[in-house]
Every structure is written in C-alpha cells, then in structure tokens.
Structure 1
Amino acid sequence: MTTTTLATTLALDDRITGSLIGAAVGDALGGPVEGYSPEQIVERHGGRINGIVGPWNGEAWRTARPIAPYHKGDGHITDDTLMTHALIRVYATVRDHLDAYAVADHLVPDLMSSPRWIPELEAEALPLQRVFLAEKWMVARLHYGHNDPREAGAGNIVNCGAAMYMAPVGLVNAAHPEAAYAEAIDIAGAHQSSYGREGAGVFAAAVSAACVPGATPASVVDTALSLAKDGTQSAIEAVAEAAARYSDFESALAPLRTAVAPFDTVGPDYRTPSLAARRPSRLHSIEELPIALGMLLVGGGDYHNTVLGAINYGRDCDSIATMAGAIAGALHGESAIPGEWAKAVAEASRLDLHAPARELAAVTREVFTRDTERRRSHESAFETLTEAR
C-alpha cells in the first residue's frame, strides 16, 4: 500500500473544506456516467473521462430513459451532495452531536418543507422531489408512520443511501474515527439497516481518519478495517488486497470489481439487480465504499487520480466518487482539488461550495468545546469516585 505522508500538517478548516468540496466535485463528475460499465463509458465518450462531461443522452436528457428527468452532467451535483448539505444544516441547527432523533426532528422536515435549487431539475423544488426512494423512506417512516427513529431504517432497501452523505459526521469527529463510527451508526439507524448502516459508520470513520495528522491512504484503510464488521470488513479487505497490486486506475478497474463482486448483492447488471439485491445480510457489503477506498490506494491518495478512477469504474460511480473525493480531500485539503473543476461545479450547480464548509468548521469547534467540558466533568466525577473512602 502507498505510505506517502503529508509534508505539512493541514489546518482543520482546510481539511473540512477539502473534504466537502472534494465530495461535491466527485459527485458532479460521476453523475453523468452513473449506472454504466467502464466499457460503455469508453464507447460513449471515446475514452476514459478526464473531467466534466455532458449528459449521457445529450439534449434528450429530459425524456431519455432511464435517467429522465434529471440533467446529470455539465457539472451538476446529484442527491449525494444535496443530502450532505442537508445534514450540515442539521448540524448547524443542533450544534452538537446528532442521533437518529435529529434526523426525524430536523432532516426530514428540511427535505419535505424547504424548497431549494435542484441542479438536476434546473428548478427550485423540495429536495424530497429529487432524492431516491431509499431517502423518501425516511419521510414515509418518520413523518407519516411515526416510527421509532432508531429503528426506522429497518425494512428499507439496503444500499449506500445513508453512507453517501456521512462525510460531515467524520469531520465533526475529525481525528476520532471511533466516535465518528458510533455517531454515524446512530444517525443511519433512521435511514438504513444491515450493511447499509454499517457502510455509513465506516465511511464516516474513514473521513475522520483522513483528518489525523500524518494520515495516509493506508492508515485510513487500516482504520476502516479495524472498525468494520461482517461483510463490510471482508469486502474492504479483499478490495484493498487487490488495489495493492496497482498504481493506475485503468489496470485496476476490472480487478477491483472482481474483488468486490462476491460481497455486492446487486449483481453484474447494475440496471437489473439480482433477486437477492439490497436485502439485509451479514455476508455482504455496499459496493461503493470498498471501491472508493480501493481507488484511494491505487491513486496513492492523489485527489485527481483517485476520483477519476472512481468515476471511470462506472456503476454507482457518483457515490463512489463522492466518498473517494471526501476522503482524498480530507487528506490533502482544498488545494488538491483541481480549481477548474470546483469552479465549474459551483457555477453549474448554483452553489456556494465554501459556505457549508465554513458552517461545519464552526460547528465542529463548538462540538469539540462541548466534548472537552463533558470529558472534564466525567474525569472530575470519576476522580471523586475513585478517591472516595
């Protein structure tokens, strides 16, 4: 595995900014080729994708199936970033650690009550009108069904829906992967179960681990493996072992897919999932997180190479690139992200990509102060208990 260390220790704000912008850019670049194979991508684009491209069906994006009515491409972010920014707004409201109840009390109302600009719809709309069915599940279960938030994810299709927007949890718990994992597992209980929930916890931990001074791709993966359970751990281990043999994504595309295939319930045809797809299991894993970590290793943590590898992998590549971009951005900060990509995505999506990062950085400091006070209070109480006669 690559063991390159960073020459300098990056500031917290730079890591948060790099992670969130890195995730959004990866999302936007991967959107137009989501659901297709590496071979189809080459045929459609005349080679591998090296930056922002237009919709798969060109001007027919409004009506062409299976993507209609979404304008994927041209620098538009997708639901991955919409959900990431929604979670940041919850942190900005609560200004402390979150749990499943915060999803019910704040995230669900945000999705169903606050119109926002939706780049893929080229219109202002409720986020609920854009998010996937797995996210609409939260509204059905929590708003209409009044289910216990901690258990609302049970019964939902098991996919990467919760994992794709957990980067903020890793950043609020920067350099404390165990805390990030635990908080994400709690939050994700309102959305997912089984290996979908596990993937959310491990992804948050990976982002947190990338914020540790001196972190490397290898240390991030080692941390993920130390916390992951069941099929998620096995899938990451298998992909990491395969990734160690490659240093360019072109040669790694097929081997990484082969490594993760036994753990992926969707099957070889992404558009026609198998009968066992997305069902709870202790033997399986979401595909996106292991592949994102694998591409991080193949690319040596370099943002450009890591994200391009994720995009050209195809399948659910917008979510893979979102996760890979978040981790690589946390490792290296904003300067690692090609400026022309970030500028184009911000302009095309009509988003201030820096604003969520500034908000989350402020919240992260407040939460750390609260944690310090709580820890000192516990230390004082424990000291009294152990000194009692």
Structure 2
Amino acid sequence: MTTHTSHKEHTSDSGPAAPLSLADRTAGCLVGAAVGDALGGPVEGWTPEQIAERHGGRVRGIVGPWYEDWRTARPIAPYHKGDGHVTDDTLMTHALVRVYERVRDHLDAYAVAAHLVPDLLSNPRWIPELEAEALPLQRIFLAEKWLVARVHYGHVDPREAGSGNIVNCGAAMYMAPVGVVNAAHPAGAYAEALDIAAPHQSSYGREAAGVFAAAVAAACAPGATVSSVVDAALALAKDGTRPAIEAVCETAARYREFEPALGPLRAAVAPYDSVGPDYRAPSLGARRPSRLHAIEELPIALGMLVVAGGDYEQAVLGAVNYGRDCDSIATMAGAVAGALGGSAAVPAAWSAEVARASRLDLHAPAAALAEVAREVFDLDRARRRAHESAFAALTAAG
C-alpha cells in the first residue's frame, strides 16, 4: 500500500540531514510513549464527542482528570489520571526495560517469569495515579495481574500462561523496548515480542505485541518513513491484525488532519474490533480469542501516524482525541513517531511536565536501553559469525 508521509530527519542550516543515533531514536521512542500515555490517560474510555464536550473542544496538551473528585469517581476510581500522570502502560514499559538491564540479552517467556513478575510483585515504586509508593502490582490492570497469578502463584509454563487471559492490548502496550533492542530488524523484534508476550496474552493480543515491536524496530532504521513502518507491520502481521491495519491505514491516507479522520478510522477498524461500539459496555464476544479480529489500539495508532505524516504532536493528539483506549493508542503512536523523529520530535514542555508530575526520569530508561541494545547487537554478531564459521566447515566437508 502507499501512504503519504511528511517525515524528515533533522536538518541543519549548514548541510544535509543528520542521521539520528540509536540513543536519540530510543529517547524519542520511550519518552514519546510516556508522554502519549500521560496525555491520553485522563480521557481514556470516552468518545470523541464526550471529550470535546468535557474540554470545550479537542485536547491539545496535558489536561486534568475527568472528574475532580478522582478518588471516588466511577468508572475509573481510584486513579488520578491526568495532570501529567503516566498510567500502567509506562509502568510496564519501564519494568520491561529493567528486565533488559538485568539480562542484557534477548528475552523470552522465561525471562518474564524470572525477572518481570518478581519486579511487579516485590519492588515498591512511586505510582503517579495512586499518588503513593506502592507495588506496581497494585496499579496494573487485571489483565496484567494475570501474569502474577498464573506464573508466580499458578506455576504455569510461562510459554503457555497467556492462554485464557482477556485478549486485549495489555501485552502490546509495553513492547516498545523490544523494538529498540532489535532496532532496524522488524522480523527479529516480532519474534522476540511474541515470546515475551506468551505468559501474558494469546491470539490477536499476542500478535499485536509482535507487530507493534516490529513497527518500532522499523521506525528505528535509518531513513525510515511512515510508509516503511506500515509496510513492515503489514509484512509480518497475521490473521485479523493484518487486514485491520491495512483498512485503517488506507482510510487514514485520505486525511491530513485528525479531526475529520476520527469517525472514518473508527468505522474502518470496527469490523475487526471485538469490543463493539460502546467501549464501556463490551459485546458478548469481546476480547475472546479469534483469528478474525484485532485489537483496536495498534491499527488506530498506525492510522494516526499516517494522518499526521509522522509528526509526533499530531499523531499523539489524534490518538488522544480518538477516545476509547486512547492512552494505549497514544503510547503506541508516540513510541513510533518518537523513534522516527528522535527526542527533538517530542515537545519538551510536555516531557518536562510529565516527568515532574509523574516523578519519573523519562530519559534514564532510554539511555539504559540504548546501551543494552548495543551489547545485544555485539552478542548477535558474535553468535552469527560462529554459526557462519561452523556452517562453512560443514559445507566444506561435502
């Protein structure tokens, strides 16, 4: 398919575009994901019309909670969403980065069991939405608590533990680090993310985790564009995920602004989304395994990227104002747009306020992950050369 793109790498007055470094793209990806998450959090679950009514128009930056008395408000109490607070999307993303820091190699389902689950269960951290120090387990959604219940308490084989869980974007939302570790190698990111997601998800939820990681990896490649990212996603996506991405991105290619695209993008993804038209009252078949369906969040995130031509701010604001599960949509759109444009693509005022309000260093995880990615590449190169040498010896022997 062909998509429009206006993305350009950074340029200077003195010459041609300067290529973005791995560190810069990693910072753009992880900081961009966290900022998108924080912007989308306060309007999660609502429709574009409700969002516009509540805020007197479209959301254009950081806003406060939907209800001022957020501790008792329903349906999302007791979380202080808004005011620059990241949600569980970012908490899980940073937790996965910490696993990479410990292992310093590719991860699999057993690494999740050995490192991610204990991190969620044992290490108190500042939780912005709770305005308190608590275990991450006390904030993450039920679909993520499944990891602890099945792996830690149920002693289920990590490669099979995701079967039976709700099929949603829970695993996909924190897979950006996998794309960075496999930067410029979408197929590698896809395969690794599928393995990492095995204890958490099955069906199209697990598939989305692989495709999202692949999109991030593709966005990290030198010269990457919106079109190359979407093409990489389509080359790897299976079952309902592929036609969902294709339908949404083909629709998105007809728009240059997110406002008129909100309804058409929802209509394009609706045949593949199992939740149904009322996000807060899911259909009977919602979030059940299927080879015909896709999560809504990833196709819409890529669609907003297409509408925005790769521009970070417009892609994220489009995702935020789409409503429904918009914190995860904006997390994904922000990660890919940030990887395409580097750290400079993310508005500094937004990232500074999100870091302050959430009491998080948004750049430290990115710096750590970029270093791990370099180490993993060196390990891969050594393993590849050893294999080449062994294979050459085998073929030379006739």
Instruction: Tell me how far 1:90 sits from its aligned partner.
Output: 0.3
Choose the corresponding residue for 1:114, options 98, 111, 123. Answer: 123
Verify: 1:94 aligned to 2:96, yes or no.
Answer: no
Verify: 1:14 aligned to 2:24, yes or no.
Answer: yes
For structure 1, the 5+ residue unaligned runs are: none
Verify: 1:372 aligned to 2:374, yes or no.
Answer: no
Distance 2:132 2:85 in 1: 12
Does structure 1 retain, via aligned residues, the 8 Å contact 2:121–2:135? yes
- Please tell me the residue identity of whatever aligns with 1:317: C
Does structure 2 retain, via aligned residues, the 8 Å contact 1:28–1:75? yes
Choose the corresponding residue for 2:182, options 152, 173, 180. Answer: 173
Does structure 1 retain, via aligned residues, the 8 Å contact 2:151–2:157? yes
Does structure 2 retain, via aligned residues, the 8 Å contact 1:288–1:320? yes
Distance 1:361 1:331 in 2: 15
Instruction: Tell me how far 1:2 sits from its aligned partner.
Output: 1.8
Distance 2:82 2:280 in 1: 19
- Please tell me the residue identity of whatever aligns with 1:49: V
Choose the corresponding residue for 1:77, options 83, 86, 109. Answer: 86
Q: How does 1:327-366 map to 2 (within 5 A)?
A: 327-366=336-375
Does structure 2 retain, via aligned residues, the 8 Å contact 1:299–1:305? yes
Distance 1:373 1:3 in 2: 37
Distance 1:64 1:212 in 2: 44
Please state whether the residue corresponding to 1:230 is helix, strand or coil. Answer: coil
Does structure 2 retain, via aligned residues, the 8 Å contact 1:172–1:360? yes
| Alpha-carbon displacement from aligned partner over 1:291-333 (angstroms, at most 9, x marks no partner) | 0000000000000100000000000000000000000000000
| Alpha-carbon displacement from aligned partner over 1:188-244 (angstroms, at most 9, x marks no partner) | 011000000000000000000001111111110011000000100010000011001
Verify: 1:282 aligned to 2:282, yes or no.
Answer: no
Please state whether the residue corresponding to 2:380 is helix, strand or coil. Answer: helix
Q: How does 1:259-278 map to 2 (within 5 A)?
A: 259-278=268-287
1:47 corresponding residue in structure 2: 57
Does structure 1 retain, via aligned residues, the 8 Å contact 2:5–2:306? no
Matched residue pairs, number? 388
Q: How does 1:1-389 map to 2 (within 5 A)?
A: 1-4=3-6, 5-6=8-9, 7-58=17-68, 60-389=69-398
| Alpha-carbon displacement from aligned partner over 1:358-389 (angstroms, at most 9, x marks no partner) | 11011111100100000000000011011114
Does structure 1 retain, via aligned residues, the 8 Å contact 2:162–2:201? yes
What RMSD in Å do the two structures reach over aligned CA positions?
A: 0.6
Distance 1:379 1:104 in 2: 32
- Please tell me the residue identity of whatever aligns with 1:230: D
Does structure 2 retain, via aligned residues, the 8 Å contact 1:173–1:364? yes
Does structure 2 retain, via aligned residues, the 8 Å contact 1:2–1:216? no
TM superposition score normalised by structure 2: 0.97
Q: Tell me: CA distance 1:29–1:3, structure 2 relative to 1, closer, same or farther (3 Å).
A: closer
- Give the share of equivalent positions with the same residue, in percent: 77
- Please tell me the residue identity of whatever aligns with 1:28: A
Distance 1:41 1:51 in 2: 13
Instruction: Tell me how far 1:272 sits from its aligned partner.
Output: 0.6
For structure 2, the 5+ residue unaligned runs are: 10-16
* 4+ long deviations beyond 6 Å: none
Instruction: Tell me how far 1:53 sits from its aligned partner.
Output: 0.1
Distance 1:98 1:242 in 2: 36
Instruction: Tell me how far 1:9 sits from its aligned partner.
Output: 1.6
Structure with bigger helix share is: 1
Distance 1:314 1:8 in 2: 36
Instruction: Tell me how far 1:67 sits from its aligned partner.
Output: 1.3
Instruction: Tell me how far 1:8 sits from its aligned partner.
Output: 3.1
Distance 1:152 1:162 in 2: 13
Please state whether the residue corresponding to 1:72 is helix, strand or coil. Answer: coil
